[in-house]
Amino acid sequence: MSKALIPTMMRVFFVAATLMGAGKNVFDYTLNTIDGQPAPLSAYKGKVLMLVNVASRCGFTPQYTALEAIYEKYKDRGFVIVGIPANNFGAQEPGTDQEIKTFCQSKYSVTFPMMSKVSVKGDDKTPLYQYLTDKAANPKTGGDIQWNFTKFLVGPEGQIITRFEPKVTPDSPEVTAAIESALAPLKR
């Protein structure tokens, strides 16, 4: 193979890889529930999702209260929060799935779906977070997760609507306005 052909083949490969990923959305991914059962996110098609990487020993952990409140407020209109424990930041989620589940239920009365602990950053990043943070696939919302309680709002077709960083509380006016806007087209 000639050396001149290699750059052309690399460009073709890059374009093909980009196009293959272009059709993906959040509903193409499966996580495991906190009880270890497969949880295809496609089960939430037609609903508005908020995906949140959570941790039990973080300064933002009290956001569980606001997450549960907005879940209760909007769940009958087709809104679902999916809590995704991760131990990537300051080892603030060291527990087992059972310990995390017990903590969330006893301390914050969490009723929204919780998933099994995953990695949201680094070489072992789960495929869902590879997609969520991919700047090429998601130029407006991609980029590394900086800390616990980063929130992704996902529309009923699996498209990422917006991203809220950890300091933005789940019950802030900007978050509730985005949820209301995303829910508006749904008939309930």
| Residues annotated as catalytic (active site), given as ranges | 58
Concatenated DSSP letters of 53-121 = EE-TTSTTTTHHHHHHHHHHHHGGGTEEEEEEEB--STT---S-HHHHHHHHHHHH---S-BBPPB--S
Max Cα–Cα distance, the chain, nearest Å: 65
Contact by Cβ (8 Å): 175, 66:
no
Instruction: Give SS3 for 162.
Output: strand
CA 79, distance to chain mean position in Å, is 14
